[in-house]
Structure 1
Amino acid sequence: MGIANKSKPINAASIKRNFVLNLLNTVTALLFPLITFPYASRILFAEGIGRVQFFLSIIDYITLCTALGIPLYAVREIARVRDDTVLRSKTTTEILLLHALLTLAGYGVVLLLAFTIAKIEVDVPLFLLLSATLFFNAIGVAWFYQAIEDFKYITIRTLIVRVVSLVALFVFVKNRNDLFYYAAILVIANVGSNVFNFFRLRKYILFIPWKELNLWKHLKPALRIFILNLMISIYVNLDSIMLGFLKDEQAVGFYTAATRVTKAVIGIVSSLGMVLLPRFSNMISNRQ
């Protein structure tokens, strides 16, 4: 693929349609754990669910740090230049490579925790399996498809992966010894579809020579967003981590069940914001 000197605008769907599609995606994301949780908790008990949730809460913090505010920052930046093929390709490649480098550093932290923290050492394979979330988030470029407002693709591929994951849960998770299968299905349901995102990216971007890239210019603005995301994450995830260290996995399991529904409303409210951000960013860049 060579670099073209022409723009290739991306036609975005209406905001109403995007909102409905994103809302559908959000609702299915909320329904999946509500459907699977009663079955999984009956098979794996509070201790098994609690162990997975405890490890996931730690992985979520590492994911947050390696992402460094990139998902939200990238939506804004790609939306601004999405009508210019070269700028779109250059910005996407820079952000993708920056995220990949940060993810490598994140895996260093994963290995350090896996072999130094007693509560993690009891089940290192499970912790490492859940850390696959880092990899899938790095290659997933979900922010790109949000920026170009391709919510139809996002919704369809996510629905397919979640349905397959739901079937896999009932097929493979049969007793307490299947905790590893449960964790793998959970990872696939949440971020497994990101593999398709990565390969489909070739449809939208061109090859940009390394010498023309400037990864580090995105670091400072993304860091500002990261600080805001960190404050939100402390409210959302720190409770499970603290409970896991202060008590045990069983307590985390019971707590997860109690908070599952209350956190559902947040996703519904925020779904409109994810639809408006790319559209407004693009309009501002076009002086509209």
Structure 2
Amino acid sequence: MSSKLKINAIYNAFYQIVLFVSPIIVAPYVSRVFGPEGIGAISFSQSIFIFFNLLGSLGSGTYGQRLIASTRNNIEDLTKSFWEIVILKVFLSITSIIIYTTFVFYSNIGYKTLLLVLIVDLSVNMFDIAWLYQGLENFKKTIINQVIIKVLAIVGIFLFVKNSEDTYVYLLCFSIPLLLGYIALWKGVSKNLVKIKIRDLKPFKHLGGLVALFLPFIAILLFSKVDKLMLGFLSDEILEVGYYEQGMKFISIALGFITSFSVVLLPTLTNYFQSKNHKELKDIILKTILRVFGLSILLFLGLFVVSSNFVPWFFGKEFIPSIAIMKILSVLMMFKGINAILGSAYLISIYQQKKYTIAIYTSVILNILLNWLLIPIYFSKGAAYTSVFSEIFLFAMLMYFSKDVINYAVLFKLVWKYILAGIFTILPLGLLANHLDPSILNTIILTISLLLMYGTILIFVFKDEVIITSFKKIVGKFY
């Protein structure tokens, strides 16, 4: 690994830690200030806004990063590419602001103040040039910028959010630092560019490439956001969205960690495929699934067992209904990691993204239909059940499309020990959790007990080589 790659990896790891710590700092305070209704109103408004925000960018960040990376050895081409993407982003942002504002004023949806405040976020797209520095592999600048934005947002929340009416202030505490942070990225940008003639720029030639990236993005976004959107429309109580939002919060953090393995895996799999090294490609997929599933079961156990003790003291007693949501959604752990490996890593690496897109869109359709049926009956629980059913369906489709490298029989041979270790762990600790009062201390006790029991079963009962090897490496650092 090159020194630049190591440095970028360190900065990225630091940013992931910041992303993990931020909600831990903010969520308990915000939950108690706004309650389920306020959290639900914010979450529902954001779930509407995010689709217009995607329209305002059309995946231009990813496209721009790739374009800059491919032209960075020629400063004239790089400069031309930069200004073409900037002009196109400004055009798309203004278009999305017009459409969004028209929608807010002429629709019958409530929470207009919250929706209008989010226009600031649409304006941010015009100033966002983080993709330039990412394409130049200057991750230090963008990550430090993002960390400062996060810190300012957290400080703003504690200073200015004081009561349940301050939901719009809460949104501005994120929007304003983000806008200022992106404007700050423009400082010194001229050092990477040269002067060019405006008539030489052809920004709209990139529109086709952006649309091609937009199609899978919108499917993935629908798959992850449609539950809250439909819950807001189909449920009579906005607090149901609040229960779902808080029940999903730590699920999302854990899922982000699990699915990050696919990002690391993609370049390696692509290289193996292009060099026709199919044996190595298959081996690395199986080994990665083995490790990811072992970790996925541990995260499932943690979220399922600890939720009943954790939610009341962390979010507040008003969010006790979120316990059931977290327990249901914890099942996603067992499928999401494998789906990321087979879909966004394997199928894309072998240029079979069409199959992945088909699987995603089919799952989205199922998700919408199930939400339509279950939300009016079970409310936030119905949305949670839908998420799990849709993810399992996606898992089945991806297994079918990836049958040349893995099938259900092979998968079971890989993961049976983790499933049994999970069963032997969840039964006694589930009973213990029912007898412990909600508190920080008892949550810590449950978490440590879970780690020790799961690890002990895998090491001493099933002699799991992955766990034993990892344990030896950790111990070896101290002796």
What's the TM-score once normalised by structure 2's chain length?
A: 0.52
Change in 2 beyond 3 A, CA 1:234/1:97: same
Q: How does 1:17-166 map to 2 (within 5 A)?
A: 17-120=7-110, 123-166=111-154
Where do 4+ consecutive residues of structure 1 move more than 6 Å?
A: 274-277
Q: Larger Rg: 1 or 2?
A: 2
- Paired with 1:158 and 1:263, the residues of 2 have a C-alpha distance of 19
Matched to 1:126, the amino acid is L
The answer to whether the 8 A contact 2:124-2:178 is kept is: no
Cα offset, 1:116, TM superposition: 2.0
Instruction: Quote the offset at 1:107 in angstroms.
Output: 0.8
Distance 1:272 1:14 in 2: 21
Q: Which residue of 2 aligns with 1:253?
A: 242
Shift of 1:271: 8.4
User: 1:283 matched to which residue of 2?
Assistant: none
Q: In structure 1, what is the Cα distance between the partners aligned to 2:89 and 2:3?
A: 28
Secondary structure at the counterpart of residue 66 of structure 1: helix
Q: Distance in 1 between matches of 2:167 and 2:201?
A: 43
Question: 2 CA distance for matches of 1:262 and 1:189?
Answer: 26
Residue 193 of structure 1: how far off its partner (Å): 1.8
**Is 1:19–1:271's contact at 8 Å kept on the other side of the alignment?**
no
Query: CA, structure 1 residues 217+243, in 2 after alignment: closer, same or farther (shift >3 Å)?
Result: same
Whether 2:207 is the aligned partner of 1:231: answer no
**C-alpha contact 2:43 2:242 (8 A) present in aligned 1:** yes
The structural deviation recorded for 1:245 is 0.8
CA distance in 1, matches of 2:221, 2:260: 15
Tell me how far apart the structure 1 counterparts of residues 213 and 239 of structure 2 sit (CA, whole Å).
34
Which secondary structure state, in structure 2, belongs to the residue aligned with residue 175 of structure 1?
coil
Q: Give how far 1:35 is off.
A: 2.0
Q: Which moved more, 1:268-277 or 1:235-244?
A: 268-277
Q: Which amino acid aligns with 2:162?
A: K
Relative to structure 1, is the Cα distance of residues 213 and 170 closer, same or farther in structure 2, using a 3 angstrom cutoff? Answer: same
What is the TM-score when the length of structure 1 is the normalising length? 0.84
Which consecutive unaligned segments of at least 5 residues does structure 1 have?
Answer: 1-11, 281-288
Q: Does 1:177 align with 2:165?
A: yes
- Range 194-203 or range 82-91, more displaced: 194-203
User: Structure 2: where are the runs of 5+ without partners?
Assistant: 271-479
Deviation at 1:140?
Answer: 1.0
What SS does structure 2 have at the residue aligned with 1:149? Answer: coil
CA distance in 1, matches of 2:126, 2:21: 25
Q: What is the distance in 2 between the residues matched to 1:246 and 1:141? A: 38
Distance 1:99 1:274 in 2: 28
Q: 2:90 touches 2:125 (CA, 8 Å); kept in 1?
A: no
Q: Which amino acid aligns with 2:116?
A: L
